């Protein structure tokens, strides 16, 4: 077959070439339409073999996600870290990011649709970065967007196949992992609130530590020891046949430091945090999908579990009060409010339990699951039993030892003459660490430690007066049932 030189082509020559192409397309269409499937498959295989003979290039793809967008692929991050070392040599389009808060320079890596070359023991390879186009947006939710599905392609001559598959890829993995460990990796805070069925993230830079927690020293040491035992228990969990995870239930009144404890745990373990908003999850299937996309070495958080969904056994209580069966309740005509609720999240208690310790709970490796609640008595016992929520941690009102931690944090004080008055009052009244911190925080540049401590003492005395008045009122009501006492709450009482 003659190859036409474009510089010497004539209109007649172009016409001949066009006719040849049309003839080929015509016969190829006939083969696809009327040939038996076996013959058509044979022709396609032969075509691929002929094409491979003339094209000696072998290609390996590394996608960001495994399977149908279910789990981030560790190999993708390793290749990205490896290419951040060599890609700046000849790639023209690069993207830059800070490797960590303490870094003083940017880390460069290949941008999408860019390529770079690499050499290994005399073999030349080409790395190409790409991105699968996102489908058209169909959701009316303003922040919904499909997660970009990126990939890397490695191309090399087939004569280097053994060298690349046996030595070069091992070199890439080792170098990439070393590069990741060298970086001061920023922790990430993920949420499903914006994209509902996908995780979005920002940098997690919460400064809380166990040293700054307003908690008794014995309790902090107990939690730290438990976390350390968990992180070193890979072989133990494997031997006993359990998924490498641990559940924590943090419960207590509002303002007692439950969320701060989660931040301290993440900083202590150096884990990412996944803040799961259950009301944004459509059903149990989406819940499993979100779980599968979490990474190892992470904390999955569900805050205020008693307020998230109807998982507190209220349906059972309704059936017991009405004497109706569950089937009768389902068939009963629903109100407009019920129909609106049904159009939202349909995550069930069964789906959440499977999320915690079912078969899907073992899909991501080393993870901590944390629930928080202000009303532990409302939770279903099936949710809080040991094995699901392994460790229950109560957060109560502030004690004097917790106050001393807050005084050190806010006022840089370890001792002060007014500490005695604070200790006496804190033994008699209940006040949350959040209220203590609010009173210790200087309101202006003129306020010093004395003014802040006096503000706290005044707040404690106010709470004490409220509690005393409540006791007196209760006694008066008991002695004179016909007497109705109306109270006008103070600012502090209203806040509580």
SS (H, E, C) the chain: CCCCCHHHCCHHHHHHHHHHHHHHHHHHHHHHHHCCHHHHHHHHHHHHHHHHHHCCEEEEEEECEECCCCEECHHHHHHHHHHHHHCCCCCCCEEEEECCCCCCCEEEEECCCCEEEEEECCEEEEEEEEEECCCCCCCCCCCCCCCCEEEEEEEEEHHHHHHHHHHHHHHHHHHHHHHHHHCCCCCEEEECCCCCCCCEEEECCCCCCHHHCCCCHHHHHHHHHHHHHHHCCHHHHHHHCCCCEEEEEEECCCCCCHHHHHHHHHHHHCCEEEECCHHHCCCHHHHHHHHHCCCCCEEEEECCHHHHCCCCCHHHHHHHHHCCCHHHHHHCCCCHHHHHHHCCCCCCHHHHHHHHHCHHHHCCCCEEEEEEECCHHHCCHHHHCCCCCCEEEECCCCCHHHHHHHHHHHHCCCCCCCHHHHHHHHCCCCCCHHHHHHHHCCCCCCCCHHHHHHHHHHHHHHHHHHHHHHHHHHHHHHHCCCCCCCCCCCHHHHHC
* Two tokens, residue 251: 């419960």
Return the domain boundaries, the chain. 57-133+142-186, 200-309+345-394, 400-495
The pLDDT profile of the chain, 496 residues, written as one tens digit per residue, is 444 555 555 666 667 777 777 777 777 677 667 777 776 676 667 666 666 666 788 888 888 876 655 566 778 888 888 887 776 567 777 777 765 555 556 767 777 778 888 889 989 999 988 887 665 554 444 444 455 678 899 999 888 999 999 999 999 998 888 777 666 567 889 998 666 567 888 888 899 999 999 998 999 999 999 999 999 998 998 898 888 889 999 999 999 999 999 999 999 998 999 999 888 888 888 888 888 888 888 999 999 888 876 655 444 454 455 554 433 433 444 443 444 344 467 888 888 888 787 776 666 678 899 999 998 888 888 888 887 889 999 999 999 999 999 999 999 999 999 999 999 999 988 999 999 999 999 888 888 999 999 999 999 999 888 888 877 777 776 766 655 444 444 444 444 4
* Cβ proximity of 423 and 400 under 8 Å: yes
Q: What's domain 200-309+345-394's superfamily in CATH? A: P-loop containing nucleotide triphosphate hydrolases (3.40.50.300)
């Amino acid at each position: 077959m003659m190859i036409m030189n474009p510089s010497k082509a004539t209109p007649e020559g172009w016409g001949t070439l066009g006719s040849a192409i049309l003839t080929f397309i015509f016969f190829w269409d006939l083969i696809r339409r009327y040939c038996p499937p076996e013959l058509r498959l044979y022709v396609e295989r032969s075509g691929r073999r002929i094409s491979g003979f003339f094209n000696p290039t072998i290609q390996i793809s590394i996608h960001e996600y495994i399977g149908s967008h279910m789990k981030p692929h560790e190999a993708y991050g390793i290749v990205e870290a490896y290419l951040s070392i060599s890609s700046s040599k000849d790639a023209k389009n690069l993207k830059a990011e800070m490797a960590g808060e303490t870094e003083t320079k940017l880390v460069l890596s290949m941008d999408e649709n860019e390529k770079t070359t690499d050499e290994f023991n005399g073999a030349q390879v080409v790395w190409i970065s790409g991105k699968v186009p996102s489908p058209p947006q169909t959701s009316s939710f303003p922040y919904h967007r499909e997660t970009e599905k990126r990939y890397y392609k490695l191309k090399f001559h087939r004569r280097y196949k053994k060298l690349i598959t046996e030595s070069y890829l091992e070199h890439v993995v080792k170098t990439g992992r070393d590069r990741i460990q060298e970086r001061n990796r920023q922790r990430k805070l993920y949420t499903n609130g914006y994209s509902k069925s996908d995780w979005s993230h920002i940098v997690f830079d919460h400064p809380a530590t166990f040293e700054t927690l307003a908690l008794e020293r014995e309790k902090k040491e107990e939690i730290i020891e438990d976390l350390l035992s968990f992180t070193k228990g890979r072989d133990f969990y494997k031997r006993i046949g359990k998924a490498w995870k641990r559940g924590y239930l943090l419960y207590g009144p509002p303002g007692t430091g439950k969320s701060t404890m989660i931040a301290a745990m993440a900083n202590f373990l150096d884990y990412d945090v996944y803040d799961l908003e259950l009301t944004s999850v459509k059903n149990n299937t989406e819940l499993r999908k979100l779980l599968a996309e979490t990474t190892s070495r992470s904390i999955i958080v569900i805050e205020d579990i008693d307020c998230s969904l109807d998982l507190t056994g209220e349906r059972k209580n309704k059936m017991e009060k009405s004497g109706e069966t569950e089937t009768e309740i389902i068939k009963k005509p629903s109100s407009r409010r019920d129909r609106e609720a049904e159009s939202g999240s349909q995550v069930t208690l069964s789906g959440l339990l499977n999320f915690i310790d079912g078969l899907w709970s073992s899909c991501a490796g080393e993870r901590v699951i944390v629930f928080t609640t202000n009303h532990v008595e409302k939770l279903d016992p099936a949710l809080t039993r040991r094995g699901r929520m392994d460790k229950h941690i109560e957060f109560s009102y502030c004690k004097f030892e917790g106050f001393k931690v807050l005084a050190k944090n806010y006022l840089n004080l370890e001792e002060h003459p007014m500490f005695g008055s604070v200790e006496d009052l804190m033994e008699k009244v209940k006040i949350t660490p959040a209220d203590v911190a609010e009173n210790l925080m200087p309101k202006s540049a003129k306020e010093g430690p004395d003014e802040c401590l006096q503000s706290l003492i005044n707040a404690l005395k106010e709470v004490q007066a409220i509690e005393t008045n409540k006791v007196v009122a209760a006694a008066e009501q008991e002695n004179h049932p016909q007497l109705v006492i109306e109270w006008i709450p103070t600012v502090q009482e209203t806040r509580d």
